[in-house]
Amino acid sequence: MLPQDLLQEDYIEPETLKQLFPGMSDIEREKIQVLAVLKNTRAAYEDMDVFENACMVLNGISPDVNKTEGCLPEHIWKTIKIIKSMYPDIDLSDEVKEYIKFIFNDNGYYFYPEGIEMDNPILEDVKTLALHGPFPLAETFYGVQASRYLKLTQEIN
């Protein structure tokens, strides 16, 4: 049995993974469990706490599932890319969208990941400025947002 074969299961017991793959690290086991949740349930798309924990694990961080820790915008951006690669037309709950908006705004980002049906009025202007300049980016609102967009996308890629 290969780890990807386990993705067909709705839930995978951590002990089962330890028995089947003793050399696998804890975070690798958590990633398999999260991918199974993303593939087989809507939990991460409906509940902000499950979404946050999925973001943490997919970014190599073992979360404390007993509390809300908060992610970084780049964690969310990367997770949305993974989710969209699995389900291009996925619909996130309003709760998850509000969580995303809060995290981005709290970190000074006023644009959001593409393709998740959120009001994102400045993203296209920010992307255009980030890709075409003028450079260096001015210390204006759009210049700062374009710099953050470049930083975010560079960290993800």
pTM: 0.87
Query: Does residue 72 fall inside a structural domain?
Result: yes
Q: Is the dihedral of CA 40, 33, 7, 83 positive or negative?
A: positive
Q: How many domains does the chain have?
A: 1
Range of the domain at 49: 42-156
Query: Does residue 55 fall inside a structural domain?
Result: yes
pLDDT (tens, 9 = 90+) of the chain, 157 residues, equals 455 555 566 567 778 888 888 888 989 999 998 999 999 899 999 999 999 999 999 999 999 888 888 899 999 999 999 999 999 999 999 999 999 999 999 999 999 999 899 999 999 999 999 999 888 877 899 999 999 999 999 988 7
